[in-house]
């Protein structure tokens, strides 16, 4: 499965839904970020991830995007 990092997962999912992308599940939230799964036109699963940068900064120090 391919994983793509996105900046605003809710807005991204809204747009993907508008253009007919199949959304497999609901957005799940965890301390380290939000996740959702979609299908590409060939039926391959893709994971979208909006990281919680504050979580990683607290864990390891400042991060670079």
- Asked if the structure places residue 65 within a domain, the reply is no
- Asked if the structure places residue 53 within a domain, the reply is yes
**How far, rounded to the nearest angstrom, does the alpha carbon of residue 13 sit from its chain's CA centroid?**
9
- Asked if the structure places residue 9 within a domain, the reply is yes
Residues above pLDDT 70, as percent of the chain: 83
Q: What is the CATH number of the domain that holds 31?
A: 3.10.180.10
- Asked if the structure places residue 38 within a domain, the reply is yes
Number of structural domains the chain divides into: 1
Residue 7 clears pLDDT 80, i.e. is over it? yes
Residue in 4, 48, 57, 2 with CA at minimum distance from that of residue 29: 48
**Cβ 37 vs Cβ 45: under 8 Å:** yes
Question: In the prediction, which pLDDT does 53 show?
Answer: 73
């Amino acid at each position: 499965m391919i994983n793509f990092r996105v900046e605003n997962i809710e807005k991204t999912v809204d747009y993907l839904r508008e253009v007919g992308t199949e959304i497999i599940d609901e957005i799940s939230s965890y301390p380290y970020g939000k996740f959702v799964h979609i299908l590409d036109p060939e039926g391959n699963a893709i994971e979208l991830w909006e990281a919680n940068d504050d979580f990683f900064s607290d864990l390891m120090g400042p991060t670079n995007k």
